[in-house]
Amino acid sequence: MALLERVSTLVRANLNDLIDKAEEPEKMIKQVILDMQNQLLQVKTQVAIAIADEHLLEKKRRENEEKVAEWMRKAELSVDKKQDDLARASLQRMESYRELSESFAQQVTDQKAQVENLKSALRQLEQKLTEAQAKADLLIAQHRRARAVGKASDARLAMGDGSKAAAFDRMKRKVAHSEALSEAKSEIAGDNMEDRLAALEKEDRIEQLLAELKGKRGA
């Protein structure tokens, strides 16, 4: 029975294994629980139908048993009345109903076994669903913690990556070099200004000396 096979698969399913293999564990947990709930509803429906069928088969068996008894009485009456032909006909009808009664009895036995299988599957699935619902929040929380720890570990590994540290050192050296270059340029600019001022002062001094000399010479 396909339904019992699906139920058996769900009952045997290991939630932890399913979560480990799933790309999105939280969705997997919710989907498994939803599947169990759907299967549980189907099994409950099948149990109710199977029990109803069992009652119907049992009713048919009793009806045929009553027919067997009825035709036996008719056969006995026919014998008492010396009506052998009617007795034979009655016994034939009795045998037909007896065969039907035995067939229904076998079907009742088979149906009872089917009902018990369905009831057992229902109990197992109910227990599995209860466990899954109880574990769901815990498993989701565990998964979230594991994911957070993994991200933290990745971050620590990234921080400890030698290539990133080397890049950082290169950047520090580049900044230091840029600062030194700027300072040098500033010093050079300052030196040029002082040289120009000194040259002007020197020119003024030369002009002053020339004027004094001309004054002395009466030129």
DSSP string for residues in 78-126: HHHTT-HHHHHHHHHHHHHHHHHHHHHHHHHHHHHHHHHHHHHHHHHHH
Task: Read off the pLDDT of each residue in 149-166 and give the average, rounded to a whole number.
Answer: 61
- Establish how many alpha carbons lie within 13 A of residue 76's alpha carbon, considering only the half-sphere containing its beta carbon: 6
Question: Which comes out higher in pLDDT, residue 58 or 191?
Answer: 58
Record the tokens describing residue 181, joined without a space: 């270059």
Describe the crossing of helices 25-80 and 84-159 by its angle, rounded to 10 degrees. Answer: 170
Task: Read off the pLDDT of each residue in 160-186 and give the average, rounded to a whole number.
Answer: 64
Among 41-45, 96-100, 184-188, the range scoring the smallest mean pLDDT is: 184-188
User: Using an 8 Å Cβ cutoff, are 68 and 91 in contact?
Assistant: no
Whole-number pLDDT of residue 204: 77
Record the tokens describing residue 138, joined without a space: 């815990």
212: Cβ–Cβ under 8 A, 6 or more apart, which residues? none
Task: Read off the pLDDT of each residue in 146-153 and give the average, rounded to a whole number.
Answer: 69
Record the tokens describing residue 9, joined without a space: 């698969």
Whole-number pLDDT of residue 115: 93
Question: What integer best gives the mean pLDDT of the chain?
Answer: 78
Whole-number pLDDT of residue 148: 75
Record the tokens describing residue 61, joined without a space: 């068996």
Q: What are the extents of the domains in the chain? A: 2-159, 166-219
Angle at 58 between CA 56 and CA 64, to 5 degrees: 105
DSSP-assigned letters across all residues of 186-216: HHHHHHHHHHHHHHHHHHHHHHHHHHHHHHH
pLDDT tens for residues 13-23?
666 666 666 56
**Is the entire prediction scored with pTM above 0.75?**
no
pLDDT for residue 175 is more than 70:
no
H/E element holding 73? Answer: helix 25-80
Angle at 51 between CA 49 and CA 53, to 5 degrees: 70
